[in-house]
Structure 1
Amino acid sequence: MLDRMSGMGGMKLFRSKKVLLEDGLQEAGILVGQEGKIDRILRKDELATLQHNAEVLDVGNLVIMPGLVDSHVHVNEPGRTEWEGYWTATRAAAAGGVTTIVDMPLNSIPPTTTKKNLETKMIAAKGKKHVDVAFWGGVVPGNQNELKDMVEAGVVGFKCFLCPSGVDEFPEVTKEDVELSLKELEGTNSVLAFHAECELGAELVMPSDNPCEYRTFLRSRPPKMEVTAVQLITQLCSKYSVRCHIVHLSAAEALPFVRAAKSSGLPLTAETCHQYLTLNAEAIPDCATQYKCCPPIRGLQNRERLWAALVAGELDMVVSDHSPCTPEMKQTRGGKAQFLTAWGGISSLQFGLSLFWTEARKRGFSIADISRFLSQNPSKLCGLQYAKGQLKEGMDADLVIWDPEAKFQVEKSIIQHKHKLTPYLGKWLNGRVIYTILRGQAVYQNGKFSPPLGRLVLSSASKH
């Protein structure tokens, strides 16, 4: 079926007893035209009387819903392609039902901080995209004059760091840098996303602390770092007419400031990540640096507060923050992995849907909730809602077809991203992706991939 439907040039009909439409799961069909757009949404009674010459894929009771949009992915190509790359990252995305990834402006060399560097990234991705790819731009000290050119070139928005990023070519910004950037972005409909941690200027780890223990690393990045940053962001958001976004919020102590900003009508959104909703500090073993990320995974009570924040609308979306590196960068010094010196980043791009569903189903979340947090809201954040994130006529026919009842174990043999080091190795997950459909063409089916069919996609901010 993969080869047959990938090569079809005519109409296609995808039908199931469980299609996620605006009014819930129901029997329906998605009729896709030759250009890969949704031509018609056919309800149950319409399917019975439809006259068509379309190629049909009837998936029975499998769920059909919009393909996932992962708006926080580090691909690292060019410059650090040994960490990851477009070929492997987008294969992992396709295997996980992700039909669009948005590439962060670091850790590639060059970083996406100028229009010229953006063009370099676009060239590097050519011919390697199994799913669609969009780009974030970066804000660093002194590049404010580049921002509007990058908006016009199609970046979905910009990201900055309020603390050191971990790579020299992407330095952190001051409050003054941020204000200059916000002034430049007013009137563009773009968005400025923040790595929301501020250094506290105090020594938080003692020489006697064991660097192989997770609690040592946790002590080095307390919740106050996030709280201080979020307070600053909300102040700036109230001062300028620019959308602001908090990436990978992990500290529940920062949520009241997000809630207050939203209640006052500020254009602020916030995301959290699968690791913060799935894992907990109490269960992380010594030397297990595959669990290290920044901000850190916190305790069980904190995790439950993040789930409650999704219900309350304080958190808008859930993303991977897929931030891989070579295994050697996780194993440092004297044969024992040390949290303070290991690279901070978790690989999870392929498993987001299953990770989220495994935990969400225990807490009464619906499949419609999944689609809102993993598809619709990330798409809207990035100005891609004109084509991605929902099943509506005229939009790209990007679908994930999956079995919510199936269980599988994460094993090295199924991992598609370049390096297999992940905290989820060996974990049993609920929800298995069967097909991933990109603009009506099957790019993944049960472990098999089509040739790369992904395209570059541009934010709607560049279309005005």
Structure 2
Amino acid sequence: MPLDLVLRGRRVVTPQGERAVSVGVLDGRIVVIGPFDADLPARTVVSYDADVALLPGVVDTHVHLQDPGTPWEGFDTGTRAAAAGGVTTIVDMPVDSCPATVDAASFAAKTDAARGRCHVDVGFWGGLTPLNRDRLAELAAAGVLGLKTFLTDPGAPDFPPLPVADLAAAADDVARLGLPLLVHAEHPDVGPAPGRAQPGPVTRYADHLDAHPAEREAAAVDAVVGAAVRSGCRLHVVHVSTAGGAQRLRAARAAGLPVSGETCPHLLCLAAEDVPDGAVEYAVGPPLRDRANAGALWQALLDGTLDMVVSDHSPTGLPEHRDPGAPGDFASAPPGIASVELSLPVVWTAARRRRLGLTAVAAWMSAAPARLAGLGRSKGAIEVGRDADVVVLDPDATFLVDPGALHQRQRRTPYTGRTLHGVVRETWLRGAPAGGGPPRGRLLLRPG
């Protein structure tokens, strides 16, 4: 029987490193990997020279698609942007949509909004709040891939933060379901020194950082580690932003605790020193730290303390009515950097500057996120048995970030005008082109 597709590449990033191979695809799955010139009869054969690299499709497990019920990013635009950026799988966060994904009914509303509108494959995290700990089993049965909680207020009325004192008991509940628990780790009881809070608008970025000290993350990670000790639950710290947070995870992992952490392109590649006062397109929670903290995050990736890089695509953006010439207020600006479309080029630009290779980038942006979401058998690698999700990247080509050319709904971005390396030439989703035609993404539901 002929194969459906063969992709021949001189530079194919596999778990064994970059290789010149042919990738044979049947019914959307990789069924054979052979030498570049292997005789593999197929209906379609596409050959690539060494000017491009074939990577496993990016798996982005931290994406906020505020659908249904908001005017922000929806499944159509968000997943179209993902495909344009080489992302073939996303996992949607449970907060920001209306309703938040906190029970079986709201999960059904979420999946109804997604069905038939996704250009990449989509999974879902469920929410854990003080109000729904008796509903977690129904979320698990409905098909969420894991649960997400906040230790500080995310600003959603139906998603209150979990008290830090309740984290260990909640982790016990999640452990019984066999799911990972993701934690937004900022401690609500750690804040600026008395008298340092600034009244009125906060236009200086330095003042904004004073209101969100790095110690807030370190204290929260301590609480996460303590919950892991007591519960044995698989705990994951989202968007680690500080050296202190990374150091605590390093010690916990060395002790064999079931904890992990991620960081984000903006936390690695943007620095507080470069944020102009009033430039609220840089507003994000947790905030951008200084270059020393960014350097510590790179080191944490290199030594395995942090497993992965995910976008935290959060396109709440700026109010449409804001005067673009007026200085912004960091205290009131909706936090979020919309970057699912740019994450791979942003990370690759910084990685190549550090003389790192595409194999490392694929490990951080594809393999590790797939494992976190329980998708490691089907996603995250160019390997026999996995879905034929492949991004064709021209690693040496550059482009200027033009907001008007982006596919995401929220065009405002701190990357505007930056020159990035890594142009996505094509994205293959289960052996077919993604993003340019009708939606063909699937919903990835964990068996109940």
Q: TM-score, normalised on structure 2? A: 0.95
Distance 1:378 1:169 in 2: 27
The 3 A distance-change label for structure 1 pair 385 and 58 is: same
Match of 2:404 among 407, 410, 413: 413
Query: Which residue does 1:5 correspond to in 2?
Result: none
The 8 Å contact of residues 150 and 161 in structure 2, kept in 1 or not, is answered as yes
Query: Which residue does 1:453 correspond to in 2?
Result: 440
Runs of 5+ unmatched residues, structure 2: none
Would you say 1:72 and 2:62 are equivalent positions?
Answer: yes
Cα deviation, residue 74, structure 1: 0.2
* TM-superposition CA deviations, 1:324-351 (whole Å, max 9, x none): 1153179489943111111111111101
Cα deviation, residue 175, structure 1: 3.2
Distance 1:281 1:212 in 2: 13
Query: Which residue does 1:6 correspond to in 2?
Result: none
Distance 2:109 2:118 in 1: 15
Q: Secondary structure at the match of 2:266?
A: helix
Query: Which residue does 2:43 correspond to in 1?
Result: 54
Alignment of 1:376-415 (within 5 A): 376-415=367-406
Q: Which amino acid aligns with 2:32?
A: R
Would you say 1:351 and 2:342 are equivalent positions?
Answer: yes
Higher helix share: 1
Match of 1:160 among 149, 153, 165: 149
Cα deviation, residue 186, structure 1: 2.3
Q: Which amino acid aligns with 1:69?
A: V
* TM-superposition CA deviations, 1:389-441 (whole Å, max 9, x none): 01121211111111100100110232111021110111110001001000000
Query: Which residue does 1:19 correspond to in 2?
Result: 12
Distance 1:339 1:396 in 2: 42
Match of 1:219 among 210, 214, 227: 210
* TM-superposition CA deviations, 1:209-241 (whole Å, max 9, x none): 861111111111000110110001000111112
Query: Which residue does 2:85 correspond to in 1?
Result: 96
The 8 Å contact of residues 242 and 296 in structure 2, kept in 1 or not, is answered as no
Distance 1:16 1:441 in 2: 16
Distance 2:374 2:394 in 1: 29
Distance 1:150 1:129 in 2: 21
Query: Which residue does 2:252 correspond to in 1?
Result: 261
The 3 A distance-change label for structure 1 pair 218 and 175 is: closer
Would you say 1:297 and 2:297 are equivalent positions?
Answer: no
Distance 2:192 2:402 in 1: 40
Cα deviation, residue 188, structure 1: 2.9
The 3 A distance-change label for structure 1 pair 161 and 332 is: farther
Distance 1:218 1:238 in 2: 31
Query: Number of matched residues?
Result: 444
Q: Secondary structure at the match of 1:12?
A: strand
Q: Which amino acid aligns with 2:296?
A: R
Cα deviation, residue 305, structure 1: 1.0
Distance 1:171 1:386 in 2: 34
Distance 1:70 1:330 in 2: 31
The 8 Å contact of residues 16 and 58 in structure 1, kept in 2 or not, is answered as yes
| Superposition RMSD in Å | 1.9
Percent of matched pairs sharing the same residue: 37
Q: Which amino acid aligns with 1:406?
A: A
Match of 1:31 among 24, 28, 32: 24
Q: Secondary structure at the match of 2:161?
A: coil
